[in-house]
Homo-oligomer: A and B are copies of this chain.
Amino acid sequence: MPLVVQKYGGTSVGSVERIKAVADRVRRSAAGGDRIVVVVSAMAGETDRLFALAGQLGAHPNPRETDVLVSTGEQVSAALLAIRLQALGLPAVSLLASQLRLTTDSNHGRARIKSIDVRRVLQALEDGNIVVAAGYQGVDSLGNITTLGRGASDLSAVALAAALRAHRCEICTDVEGVFTADPNICPPARKLSRISYDEMLELAGLGAKVLQARSVELAKRFKVPVVVRSSFTDAPGTWVGEEDKAMEDVLVSGVTLDRNQSKITLTGVEDRPGLAAKIFGPIAKAGIVVDMIIQNASAEGRTDLTFTVSRGDLLRALELVKEVAAQIGAGGVRYEEQVAKVSVVGCGMRSHAGVAARMFEVLAREGINIEMIATSEIKISSVVNIKYGELAVRVLHDALVGNCGAGSYKEER
């Protein structure tokens, strides 16, 4: 019998009624003959509630104890779902990280998985149980509770699927799959039936909330077939897997918009070696991730340096940059609190040129100025004025994905 890991997110288990619906769904899957390991998140809002309690008791709550606290959210969900399954007459057993022996390092709040000893899970399955595993949590070698980072129940699910060599890992969520763009912004957006790990990684990195980036990396490494699908319907969802020939024919799988970016410009910087290190060293040390960097060559040996950070990091980044600017005698510091990063992603770009040119052409036609550009093998991102963000998504989707089937745009060869 195929072994399937099903992960249900916080919205899917957000109330007694929702938990009942999940149990019914699990029952249908079990009736279909699958052996099932369910991974659950905390009920929607519960993790935030627990973090808020911790914050009321300490400005910087002790990380070990915060993990003991917030891991109860998943423990509650797992127990409640097991109770419901039992009430439906289905043998079920909840397992916590300490019982799953999902071992991590001791990096509280963002622990990394070291190993999973699947014997207890396999024994429980062999005894005829549905296993309900608490997501998000781990246990270190000393038996301390750890957590894997926000949104990491996806990671728990993929890791379990890898360790159990599951037939597939179903990520059951509140959307029907991965879309070519956010349908709220771009109504013609369509659900993709398949997408490669690399594309999904780029999309997750660009803020598509459907799947946590670390879980995609892990799925890619262990070749775990992942399917993103709705908790509420039986629609087939989007398969995430290895790249194949058909995928390469699709130039652009998705268009994304990230509104959560700020832009900082350091003007009149003396253009000599080692200066970038002087500027970005303190920022990196403060744990601030710099996303895009451009440097404008300029006259008289001076240059402008522009980079983007998450809006949440803007204030701290500005402080650091102003200090450095004073030290190195830069002209000044300018910033824009909110800019839009519009990206197109598609593994077809690996073998086909021309997408970038087409992107710039489409944006230019709408009068949208591109302020910064960054590219990877399968992604092109442009920073534009925030007021053009949604328009940019729509025109790029129209031109590069089209209304009538993913990958309708084919490079003219």
- A interface vs B, CB < 8 Å? 16, 19-20, 50, 53-54, 56-62, 64-66, 68-69, 72, 75-76, 78-80, 82-84, 86-87, 92-94, 96, 98-99, 143-145
Contact = CB atoms under 8 A, between A and B. Distances in A.
A80 B53 contact: yes
Contact of A83 (B58, B87, B96): B58
Contacts of A144: 99
A147 B56 CA distance: 29
A16 B76 contact: no
Contacts of A84: 57-58
A186 to B, nearest CB: 39
Given A69-B76, A76-B69, A83 B54 contact: yes
Contacts of A16: 53, 56-57
A103 to B, nearest CB: 14
Nearest to A73: B72
The 3 closest A-B pairs by CB, nearest first: A58-B87, A69-B79, A68-B79
Contacts of A53: 16, 76, 80
B50 A64 contact: no
29 contacts: A16-B53, A16-B57, A19-B57, A20-B57, A54-B79, A57-B80, A57-B83, A58-B84, A58-B86, A59-B87, A61-B83, A61-B86, A61-B87, A62-B83, A62-B86, A65-B79, A65-B93, A65-B94, A66-B79, A66-B83, A68-B75, A68-B82, A69-B79, A69-B83, A72-B75, A72-B79, A75-B75, A96-B145, A99-B144
A89 to B, nearest CB: 11
Nearest to A23: B57
A335 to B, nearest CB: 34
Contacts of A19: 57
Contacts of A54: 79-80, 83
Contacts of A143: 98-99
Nearest to A19: B57
A68 B61 CA distance: 25
Nearest to A58: B87
Contact of A98 (B66, B82, B98): B98
Given A57-B19, A84-B57, A99-B143, A50 B76 contact: yes
A54 to B, nearest CB: 5
A142 B72 CA distance: 20
Contact of A57 (B61, B87, B98, B145): B87
A68 B87 contact: no
B50 A65 contact: no
Nearest to A87: B58
A39 to B, nearest CB: 15
A93 B64 contact: yes
A96 to B, nearest CB: 7
Given A57-B16, A87-B58, A82 B94 contact: no
Nearest to A86: B62
Contacts of A87: 57-62
A270 B311 CA distance: 87
Contacts of A96: 68, 145
A83 B52 CA distance: 12
A80 B62 CA distance: 10
A22 to B, nearest CB: 11
Contact of A86 (B65, B92, B145): B65
A76 B65 contact: no
Contacts of A66: 79, 83
A82 B64 CA distance: 10
Nearest to A54: B83
Contacts of A61: 83, 86-87
A196 B79 CA distance: 41
A145 B82 CA distance: 14
A65 B19 CA distance: 15
Contacts of A99: 143-144
